[in-house]
Structure 1
């Protein structure tokens, strides 16, 4: 990081690799409010404007990305971080003097305007707050951050700290906050160093091969252009909450198949698109987090996008399909360190990196919570304009339930078709979970889509008549177990066993212990593989663990000559 010669109170560094695609989109579409992240809350109670202004600006002061602007130079785009920024005013709109009949319309208009007014990323911080005083006891807050400065997990940090700072100002006591976390500039410098020193060559080769010739998949849209005014809202949201019985069926099936709830939801979407399009090769985008523990509370754009490509053959069972999609997902996550803009550098000649490769995003959403103390707070979903994808589905999976928010582009879907797809997804999921082990082609999925979504029957055809995707041959994994018993562990096996035991909280003593039979599952597998890669060998992957879950089988396939901590393998 360097000091800006024009202002000793500013620091500059190159734009982050995860910000490059967002910047390019903004540079070419400066009037577009795409990549806006609005959070809207209605507050019932005594509202303290001074406390809000303090909390808002203190959050900005704590996080570099919220006091950053961007500038084009001869050597490229740089981000300029203000060390001691001027206070950012909270925009206050007072509707209390209006007749009651007018307030509702004016409130919604104010929310829409605040949520969709574009940022000038070259001159202003990528965050703003609007407070709408509706009555003496009711206030609406519209907090908006641009995605170039904040991802979903970052928003949860912003809301958490904003709430604590507001409450502390009201109490007149110091806030109960951890020290300021590592700045986003440190994360960016680490990514740039990894790209420069060749650390990510394996990831570059993987994505170059994986994405060659790939076209993004999406549910079929309307067959005619939508006529709309330039100022009309271009995206809308449909929310789907699974009923308790279906949510429990999904959870039980995920446990039984040693999978995750998200993998089941993702596989269902891929099957639904295959049934609707007749195309068996599906490629969906998914947001992932590049956070390590040291950046757990860092605010910035740390989310990357990966592409999950699978071959869907409806003549196979859903259980087989889930197995393959889960492995495709793990493969992609294993190579997530390469920023998406660099994944597609050699694959595009257009101005928008990745255009055509990702048309639909399917991700697990991060849910933020705001607590202001006194009073009653409720969150509402607002509409945004001109989303960058044809469809974006965010899955909220929590102990209280499973919900999916569908944001769809009106340039591609009518509201009726989007509503129909949302309802059809619920039915497709229920159908697949009822009969996961019969050929999907026999389940009437195309007829279901025609009936529920209103999709013309001729558009929904059986997909995937090509060769079925190869299944892992787990029968070969039993070879070592057939040998004479041998309870002794090699040094590498001991090191792996220690990591497994630490993760699943049970002893791992035999070379033929199976990670999943001992109680391991997909979520713990990710942590285990990360530890093995750090302490024993970089060649460990999720797919390797799923294909070879026995201790000796897994350990024998690790290249310990590539280990990063040789001592770990000699414990």
Structure 2
């Protein structure tokens, strides 16, 4: 069966065709597995996940003048197994997660590294056309259930899937783009600044390679608890508080009050889409006019309004929005969103294999989709792991570390005294 690509798949497929060098659309799911791993059961479990989830066996093609997705009837080989010395692991993981994927063949590659008889690392590289953050929760749940069923000698306990990404693409394309939503986006983004949000350490290259690096930090449990307190006081969400802190941090660098960041938006909605692995998220620009003389609590309220307004018109694909406002070409800098905020603080669905200690590993992909992107990922009951991804063609590592530190410091101060003005929290930095 052949289906049209989703709008998101189409935009990413076209981006890949125009990209030379490393792809910025590769995603890594990596876990260290310590214990008596049943390798055959793991391979069977992963094969069954691919059999169950059509997106993981779907090819993306330009066929007969159309961009289409074509699910294979059966999964092919899904897992490569190789020995690896512990001192070689970091280099091997970087190599695996940075190796190009051919979308005409498969949207993922899985490798099991054996470090010792009771020590393994499972690394799965995905193309972003096939996964979003929610997909990893689905993957963790299904891989766990299939593996447990195999080693326990029972049938897997998973409800049949009733949705399909191909059907979703057909419905959305039939519905078309709402002209009223497009008009509202034109009005929202009219006159948006093209000024850099952060002082650059180097001029932008004419032909950026979009290479990048990452640095990690933690948001401790007491700070996330404080964020929830402020969110309750503002009748808002923790995401809104983190976004407000980003706006205040960016204001502190340039003094700009008209600011725009990108946030992910999910288009799952229908219950039938929740159990699917697939890319059902897109980038959404959020524009905010900040009043620095007002309190952080008031900034949270303003951020809530901006997010709510953008969310109401989330059905416009980001690529279509860029075309609408005439910003679809790259031209040496991101066409609209320079800074992206991604928060994955949903309750964890761990990889829970019997007799196995599973630990998630974060591997730097060596690229950067934006000038900077901040990822906040739940790792414990209340702790978030922060990853700041930055374009190393533009910023030194010390600059990126300063941004991460300034964000964490401002957030901590704002949570402790949310009535403090943005000016007092952020100050103004003419340069780093």
TM-score, with structure 1 as normaliser: 0.70
Report the Cα distance in structure 2 between the residues aligned to 1:262 and 1:216, rounded to whole angstroms.
25
1:503-543 deviation per Cα after TM superposition (whole angstroms, max 9, x unaligned): xxxxxxxxxxxxxxxxxxxxxxxxxxxxxxxxxxxxxxxxx
Give the total of aligned pairs: 425
Considering fraction of residues, name the structure with more strand.
2
- Alignment-derived partner of residue 62 in structure 2: 72
Contact persistence 2:254–2:430 (CA under 8 A): no
Give 2:102's aligned residue: 120
The CA deviation at 1:48 is: 2.1
Q: 1:435 to 1:52 in 2, by over 3 A?
A: closer
Query: Comparing 397-406 with 288-297, which one deviates more in the overlay?
Result: 397-406
Is 1:256 the counterpart of 2:256? The answer is: no
| RCO comparison, higher one (Cα < 8 Å, 6+) | 2
State whether residues 288 and 303 of structure 1, in contact with CA within 8 Å, keep that contact through their aligned partners in structure 2.
Answer: yes
- Tell me how far apart the structure 2 counterparts of residues 42 and 183 of structure 1 sit (CA, whole Å): 31
> For residue 43 of structure 1, what is the aligned residue in structure 2?
33
Task: Provide the secondary structure at the position in 2 that maps to 1:459.
Answer: coil
Q: Which residue of 2 aligns with 1:224?
A: 202
Helix, strand or coil at the partner of 2:227: helix
Alpha-carbon distance in 2 for matches of 1:438, 1:241: 21
1:315-330 map, 5 Å: 315-330=293-308
Change in CA separation of 1:319 and 1:275 when aligned onto 2, cut-off 3 Å: same
The alignment status of 1:274 with 2:246, answered yes or no, reads: no
1:356 aligned residue (335, 349, 354): 335
Aligned positions of 1:177-192 closer than 5 A = 177-192=158-173
Q: Which has more radius of gyration?
A: 1
Q: 1:206-241: per-residue Cα shift (whole Å, max 9, x none)?
A: 1122223334676524422699xx999732132231
Q: CA deviation at 1:348?
A: 2.9
Residue 82 of structure 1 pairs with residue 72 of structure 2: yes
Name the SS for the 2:394 alignment partner: coil
The 5 Å alignment of 1:44-193 reads 44-85=34-75, 87-95=76-84, 103-122=85-104, 124-193=105-174
| Residues 476-507 of structure 1: per-residue CA shift (max 9 Å, x gap) | xxxxxxxxxxxxxxxxxxxxxxxxxxxxxxxx
The alignment's C-alpha RMSD in Å is 2.6
Structure 2 Cα separation of the partners of residues 326 and 201 of structure 1: 25
**Structure 2: tracts of 5 or more residues without a match:** none
Pairing 1:308-319 to 2, within 5 Å after superposition: 308-319=286-297
Quick one: structure 1 residues 269 and 402, their matched pair in 2 at CA, closer, same or farther if it must change by over 3 Å?
Answer: same
Within 5 Å, which residues of 2 pair with 1:435-514?
Answer: 435-441=417-423, 443=424, 445-446=426-427, 457-459=429-431
Match of residue 400 from structure 2: 418
- 1:296 counterpart (258, 264, 274): 274
In structure 2, relative to structure 1, the CA distance for the partners of 1:92 and 1:231 (3 Å cut) is farther
Unaligned 5+ residue runs, structure 1? 1-10, 96-102, 448-456, 461-571
Distance 2:426 2:32 in 1: 41
Q: For residues 387 and 232 of structure 1, do their structure 2 counterparts lie closer, same or farther at Cα, with a shift above 3 Å needed? A: closer
Structure 1 residues 186 and 231: alpha-carbon distance in aligned structure 2, compared to 1, 3 A threshold:
closer
> Is the 1:31–1:118 Cα contact (8 Å) retained in structure 2?
no
- Secondary structure of 1:213's aligned partner: coil
Q: What is the CA–CA distance in structure 2 between the aligned matches of 1:348 and 1:150, rounded to whole Å? A: 28
Give the Cα separation in 2 of the matches to 1:205 and 1:411.
36
- The more displaced of 429-438 and 329-338 is 429-438
